[in-house]
Amino acid sequence: MPKSSPIHAAGAVLWRRPPYGGALEIAVIHRPRYDDWSLPKGKLKRGESAAEAAVREVAEETGMACVLGPELPPCRYLVGARPKEVRYWVAEAAGGEFVPGREVDRMRWLPPAMARLRLTHDRDRPLLDAALRTLSGIV
């Protein structure tokens, strides 16, 4: 049986300082197709780098422009029988506005502890933890 080609995707742990000041917040998105809360991510397009895909996917799913920071450890898992690797970055929101759509119908800015609880998939929590460790040296 031939080996399935891997799925390559990219995304970000998107963060901001609230407009009124205070502690940082993390963006989590709701995907109605899967009825889950996750971090923004998506598949790479042909010829696109992972960093370009991360910026594009953040914009498409959250409406936010972002500035990529340090790269986080990749996340690897199976989708059906196909291996999937998602490369993530810490990314600061740089303006924009969320508009609900078919792929993502809700977005919430949450304090890190609440974001951690809202995430549906266990595999997203270590990414959030790694992002927070990285941000503790930046913010």
Q: Using 70 as the pLDDT threshold, list the residues of the chain that sit under it.
A: 1-3, 139
pTM as predicted: 0.93
Domain boundaries, the chain: 7-136
Best CA proximity match to 13, nearest among 103, 104, 120, 115 = 115
Instruction: Tell me what pLDDT residue 68 has.
Output: 98
Q: What per-residue confidence (pLDDT) applies to 3?
A: 64
Q: Considering only the top CATH level, what class is 7-136?
A: alpha beta
Contact 16, 66 (CB under 8 A): no
pLDDT at 1: 43
C-alpha torsion 50→131→59→55, nearest 10: -30
pLDDT tens-place string over residues 107-135: 999 999 999 999 999 999 999 999 999 99
